[in-house]
């Protein structure tokens, strides 16, 4: 079917068995109104033309051979053609006009009368009919587009009455989101079945009444199953047949909101671990550190009770070493059985984090009196330290039902590892101080010059005997790390330089070199050093002993002189001496 080239220009199909009348009408309509007019001398010819060409309107005579105008109209309507139809005839019978209008004709005009009047009315009628048809077509197209956009949209959409709140329509996404069928929704008030708080709808209506639209307003809804969802509510007031309606889009953001909350919580937990790590670097006492742990863990997990239990010697009992939320006087005194009847004991036995959903119905263990006396319901506990030699238990508990997540477990494990590392560091430092005291006691009173150099080649310790040998105090060596190189005589600098090149080796080193004391004396030094390692095999630097061997060198020198003299004496006596 050929289409119209100019969509604004009106294309008329004029049907009449009078060829001369067709020509006259064509000239008038095209000249006076600018229409494009094609002619047909019979209904059958008109139907053929309508099947191949698009026209805006049909103007037809009534009395025609074979098929009159009414039969022609009937066939068109039976073919589901809604093209505007004007009955333009010389027969002025009223019954014909009424019948034509009842059959779907748009208007009836009589050919009789002055041409100016007749054609003036015809032109006006054609324009009006085409304009109405085009407007109706546009409305239908708009409705079809709206219907497609409404029903096929991936977002939940609904239309409701502004005054009553009754549902008028909803799309499939809306049905899927809330779980109601369209039949269950249409005609019912949204405030009664969807809103968790009916006052939310009134607040939405107030905003719409003020602004005519609303964008991304966060609202809590409930589905048919009772599930709560959080959604972004956007709406616009529309007018349909003089009725104010609300076109609404609802975007479910429950999962994204939960994810944001989860990320926010996770970040808070990580920040707590980091803050406790920073606090540990300030070297607080163990008790102060554990007290802060208990408070920070309770705050981070939003629980009422937190505890740090220390496994006592013998492994049968646990001491409430630190905690928050417990009755006054219990921290530092309360004892918990380390057997598998308590949550803490069961955690030690199972060697894995334990989560309690409801202590009142717990079947794995009965729970200690400490928890029952504080009306504990939910809780989580992890081991502090190694599985073979644990320090104790870190636990968090609530007096209401609370679901602990995998992130909560990982958080507790991180805190437990931090506690273990802090306590080991404290104990190692205590042991180091004890060993250092022993070392200093021996080294400080030794006659030899003893020192310890760190892996960074810095003096950690220099014994007081250095002043007897070199004239320089221990602090002078510590303040000036290059002093030991500066006092070596120039001829022996290479010996000490080669030695420092082998500083990080695992071997013991022995060498001799000369130094110039603070008073200018030259002294021989016998140097012995060896690498130092801790119990874990970590290299801690080198320990060295410098001995003043000046007198020994003098004796050696005198001995060499004597030996040379004796050799000269023997050679001067000759062979005859021995006979």
- For residue 89, what pLDDT band results from cuts at 50, 70 and 90? confident
Q: What is the H or E stretch that residue 146 is in?
A: helix 115-151
Q: For residue 172, is pLDDT > 80? A: yes
* Residues in a beta bridge with 379: 356, 397
Q: How big is the chain by its Cα radius of gyration, in Å?
A: 52
Pick the more confident residue, 558 or 292: 292
Banded model confidence at residue 536, pLDDT cuts 50, 70, 90: confident
Beta-carbon contacts of 151 under 8 Å, excluding residues fewer than 6 positions away, are 171, 172
Which position has the higher pLDDT, 67 or 242? 67
What CA–CA distance (Å, rounded) separates 64 from 69?
7
CA neighbor of 502 nearest in space, from 466, 457, 470, 558: 457
> CB under 8 Å to 275, separation ≥6 — which residues?
296
pLDDT score for 576: 45
CA 491 to chain centroid, in Å, comes to 68
Give yes or no for residue 445 having a pLDDT over 70: no
- Output 181 or 93, whichever has higher pLDDT: 181
Spell out the residues 6+ positions from residue 502 whose beta carbon is closer than 8 angstroms to its own: 509
The highest-confidence range among 86-95, 108-117, 396-405, 540-549, by mean pLDDT, is 396-405
Residue 43 in contact with residue 72, Cβ under 8 Å?
yes
Q: What pLDDT score does 508 carry?
A: 84
What's the whole-number mean pLDDT along residues 50-70?
Answer: 92
SS3 373: coil
Q: What is the pLDDT of residues 202-215, one digit of tens each?
A: 888 889 988 899 99
pLDDT of residue 578: 40
Q: What is the pLDDT of residues 332-374, one digit of tens each?
A: 999 999 998 899 999 999 999 999 999 999 999 988 899 999 9
Q: What is the pLDDT of residues 303-321, one digit of tens each?
A: 999 999 999 999 999 999 9
Nearby residues of 552 by Cβ (< 8 Å), 6 or more positions away: 524, 526
Question: Does pLDDT of 330 surpass 60?
Answer: yes
d(CA 106, CA 127): 12
Whether residue 21 contacts residue 46, with contact meaning beta carbons closer than 8 Å, is answered with: no
Q: What is the mean pLDDT of residues 461-471?
A: 89
Q: Which two tokens stand for residue 244?
A: 């104010």
Q: How confident is the model at residue 553 (pLDDT cuts 50, 70, 90)?
A: confident
Q: What is the pLDDT of residues 9-25, one digit of tens each?
A: 899 999 999 999 999 99
Q: For residue 57, which of 78, 81, 79 has the smallest C-alpha distance?
A: 81
pLDDT at 568 over 80: no
- For residue 483, the surrounding DSSP H or E stretch is helix 483-486
Query: Which residue did the predictor score with more confidence, 574 or 146?
Result: 146
Predicted confidence (pLDDT) at residue 247 exceeds the cutoff of 80 = yes
Partnered with residue 544 across adjacent β-strands are: 451, 529
- Tokens describing residue 282: 């300030």
Residue 531 is inside which H or E element, if any? strand 522-533
Q: Please report which helix (H) or strand (E) contains residue 398, including its range.
A: strand 390-398
pTM metric for this prediction: 0.44
Q: What percentage of residues in the chain have a pLDDT greater than 70?
A: 91
Cα–Cα distance for residue pair 225/231, rounded to 1 Å? 17
Phi, psi for 34 (deg, rounded to 5): 75, 15
* pLDDT tens by residue, 396-407: 999 999 999 888
Tell me the average pLDDT across 391-416: 92
pLDDT of residue 424: 85
Check residue 573 and give its pLDDT: 56
Question: What is the reported pLDDT for 141?
Answer: 75
Tell me the pLDDT tens digit for each residue of 488-502: 999 999 998 888 887
User: Which of the four pLDDT bands, split at 50, 70 and 90, describes residue 577?
Assistant: very low
């Amino acid at each position: 079917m050929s289409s119209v080239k100019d969509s604004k220009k009106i294309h008329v199909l004029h049907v009449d068995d009078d060829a001369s009348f067709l020509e006259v009408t064509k000239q008038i309509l095209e000249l006076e109104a600018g229409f494009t007019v094609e002619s047909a001398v019979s209904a059958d010819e008109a139907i053929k033309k309508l099947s191949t060409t698009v026209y805006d309107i049909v103007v037809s005579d009534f009395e025609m051979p074979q098929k009159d105008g009414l039969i022609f109209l009937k066939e068109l309507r039976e073919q589901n053609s809604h093209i505007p139809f004007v009955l333009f005839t010389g027969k002025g019978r009223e019954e014909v006009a009424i019948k034509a209008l009842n059959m779907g004709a748009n208007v009836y005009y009589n050919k009789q009368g002055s041409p100016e009047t007749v054609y003036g009315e015809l032109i006006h009628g054609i324009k009006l009919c085409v304009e109405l048809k085009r407007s109706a077509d546009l409305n239908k197209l708009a409705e079809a587009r709206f219907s497609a956009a409404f029903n096929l949209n991936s977002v939940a959409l609904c239309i409701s009455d502004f005054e009553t709140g009754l549902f008028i329509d909803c799309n499939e996404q809306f049905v899927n989101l809330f779980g109601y069928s369209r039949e269950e929704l249409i005609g019912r008030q949204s405030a009664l079945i969807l809103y968790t708080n009916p006052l939310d709808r009134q607040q939405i209506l107030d905003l719409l009444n003020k602004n005519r639209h609303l964008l991304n307003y966060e609202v809590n809804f409930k589905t048919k199953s009772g599930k709560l969802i959080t959604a972004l509510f956007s709406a616009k007031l529309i007018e349909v047949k003089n009725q104010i309606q609300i076109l609404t889009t609802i975007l479910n953001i429950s999962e994204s909101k939960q994810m944001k909350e989860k990320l926010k919580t996770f970040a808070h937990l990580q920040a707590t671990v980091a803050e406790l790590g920073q606090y540990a670097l300030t070297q607080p006492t163990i008790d102060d550190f554990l007290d802060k742990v208990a408070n920070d863990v309770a705050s981070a997990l939003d629980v009422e009770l937190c505890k740090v239990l220390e496994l006592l010697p013998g492994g049968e009992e646990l001491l409430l070493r630190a905690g928050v939320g417990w009755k006054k006087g219990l921290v530092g005194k309360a004892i918990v059985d380390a057997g598998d009847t308590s949550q803490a004991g069961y955690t030690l036995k199972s060697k894995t984090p334990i989560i309690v959903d409801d202590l009142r119905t717990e079947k794995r263990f009965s729970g200690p009196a400490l928890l029952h006396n504080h009306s504990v319901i939910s809780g989580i506990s992890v081991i502090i330290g190694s599985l073979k030699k644990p320090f104790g238990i870190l636990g968090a508990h609530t007096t209401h039902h609370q679901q602990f997540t995998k992130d909560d477990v990982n958080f507790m494990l991180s805190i437990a590892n931090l506690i273990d590392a802090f306590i080991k560091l404290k104990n190692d430092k205590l042991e180091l101080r004890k060993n250092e005291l022993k070392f200093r006691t021996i080294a400080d009173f030794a006659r030899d010059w003893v020192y310890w150099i760190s892996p960074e080649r810095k003096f950690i310790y220099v014994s007081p005997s250095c002043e007897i040998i070199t004239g320089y105090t221990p602090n002078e060596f510590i303040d000036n790390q290059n002093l030991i190189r500066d006092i070596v005589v120039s001829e022996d600098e290479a010996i000490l330089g080669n030695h420092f090149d082998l500083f990080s080796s695992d071997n013991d080193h022995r060498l001799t070199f000369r130094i110039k004391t603070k008073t200018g004396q030259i002294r021989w030094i016998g140097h012995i050093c060896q690498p130092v390692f801790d119990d874990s095999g970590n290299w801690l630097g080198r320990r060295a002993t410098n001995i003043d061997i000046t007198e020994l060198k003098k004796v050696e020198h005198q001995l060499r002189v004597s030996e040379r003299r004796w050799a000269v004496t023997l050679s001067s006596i000759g062979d005859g001496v021995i006979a």
